[in-house]
């Protein structure tokens, strides 16, 4: 007996518009500065605190070859020359020493004697190469947790949010040829040079985050 076709016979995700798939997402960011240009597995991650304004962007540059063969200039070939993936955000946690170090682009140096509680930073404006974990956690449904083995993080300027000072940042994702995400979590079976994004149930977010930190630190 032939079954009557339904929408799911032809559409793989017919429930995509259900309420649990529509949510506001919180944004958290953890970064770990590289050592000698590579991932510093023994190092600890730095939490960027009260982050807001997460804005991802993908910019593409193309090159093309055109010629006038029959009286009209025509494009004969067009290909991607460069793709740059960045995201901008800001944090209100300007009183945190480690965040200030990332914003100004230098490590803090402690004072001595009567100034032992004072720290000094060089305001270089330099970028810091890091690996990073991005957590986009919803009010309900699934979280998105991204791990990127290399990114260039730099402070772009001070800002303000309703009278509170902020530090504004830009992160540029960098490709790491041959990077393979931890098989102990999900075996992708291939290299993912720019990182990996995990879809995790909200209730499992914190437990998975700890497992991810452990896996990329082993």
Encode 183-218: b = buried (16+ Cβ within 10 Å), e = exposed: eebeeeeeebebbbebebeeeebeebbeebbeebee
| 82's tokens | 């460069």
Which residues neighbour 135 within 8 Å (Cβ) at sequence distance 6 or greater? 26, 27, 28, 29, 30, 143, 144, 145, 205, 209
- φ/ψ region of 53 (left if φ > 0, alpha if ψ in -120 to 50, else beta) reads left
Indicate if the pLDDT at residue 4 is higher than 80: yes
| 138's tokens | 């919803």
pLDDT mean across residues, the chain: 94
Q: What would the pLDDT profile of 27-74 be if each residue is shown by its tens digit?
A: 999 999 999 989 999 999 999 999 999 999 999 999 999 999 999 999
The pLDDT, as a whole number, for residue 1 is 61
Quote the pTM value: 0.89
Q: What would the pLDDT profile of 78-87 be if each residue is shown by its tens digit?
A: 999 888 999 9
The pLDDT, as a whole number, for residue 21 is 86
Higher pLDDT, 5 or 186: 186
Q: What would the pLDDT profile of 159-205 be if each residue is shown by its tens digit?
A: 999 999 999 999 999 999 999 999 999 999 999 999 999 999 999 99
Q: State the Cα–Cα distance between residues 210 and 129, nearest whole angstrom.
A: 22
Q: What would the pLDDT profile of 17-35 be if each residue is shown by its tens digit?
A: 998 888 889 999 999 999 9
Indicate if the pLDDT at residue 115 is higher than 80: yes
Question: E strand or H helix at 76, and its extent?
Answer: strand 73-91
Indicate if the pLDDT at residue 2 is higher than 80: no
């Amino acid at each position: 007996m032939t079954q009557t076709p339904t929408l799911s016979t032809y559409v793989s995700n017919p429930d995509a518009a259900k309420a649990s798939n529509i949510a506001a997402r919180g944004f958290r960011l953890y970064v770990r500065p590289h050592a000698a240009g590579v991932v510093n597995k023994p190092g600890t991650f730095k939490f960027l605190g009260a982050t807001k304004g997460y804005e991802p962007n993908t910019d593409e540059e193309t090159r093309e070859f055109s010629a006038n063969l029959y009286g009209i200039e025509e494009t004969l070939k067009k290909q991607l020359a460069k793709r740059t993936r960045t995201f901008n955000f800001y944090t209100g946690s300007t009183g945190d020493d480690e965040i200030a170090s990332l914003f100004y682009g230098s490590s803090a140096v402690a004072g001595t004697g009567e100034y032992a509680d004072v720290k000094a930073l060089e305001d270089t404006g330099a970028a810091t190469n890091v690996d990073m974990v991005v957590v986009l956690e919803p009010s309900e449904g699934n979280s998105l947790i991204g791990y990127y083995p290399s990114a260039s993080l730099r402070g772009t300027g001070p800002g303000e949010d309703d009278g509170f000072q902020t530090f504004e940042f830009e992160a540029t994702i960098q490709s790491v040829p041959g990077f393979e995400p931890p098989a102990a979590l999900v075996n992708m079976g291939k290299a993912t040079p720019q990182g990996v994004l995990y879809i995790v149930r909200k209730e499992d977010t914190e437990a998975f985050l700890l497992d991810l930190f452990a896996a990329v630190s082993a």
